[in-house]
Amino acid sequence: MSNPGGQEIAVILMAVILFGFQIAIGNVQTLPSDFFGGKSVGTLSGFAGMAAKLGAFGLNKYIIT
C-alpha cells in the first residue's frame, strides 16, 4: 500500500477507509445514546476525542523522534 498506483486510486482508497471509519464512529456515539442520557454521551464523546488527539500527538512524537 505504500504505492497505490496513482492519485485517483489513492483518493478512492482514502474515501473508502474514511467511509468505514464514519460508520464505526456513528455506532460508537449512537449506541450509548440509546442506553444512557445525553450528558453521559457527551462525556464519552469528549473522552474519545481527547484520546484520539493525544494518540495522534504521541504517535507524531514517536515517529519524528
* In contact, 44 and 32? CB cutoff 8 Å: yes
Q: Give the model's pLDDT for residue 19.
A: 93
Alpha helices (H) in the chain, listed in sequence order: 7-35, 38-64
* In contact, 45 and 29? CB cutoff 8 Å: yes
- Quick one: which of 4, 22, 21 has its CA closest to 13? 4
Q: Give the model's pLDDT for residue 65.
A: 66
Q: Give the model's pLDDT for residue 8.
A: 87
The model's pTM = 0.49
pLDDT means over runs of 10, the chain (65 residues): 76 90 81 78 83 91 80
Instruction: Kindly list the domain boundaries of the chain, sorted by start residue.
Output: 7-64
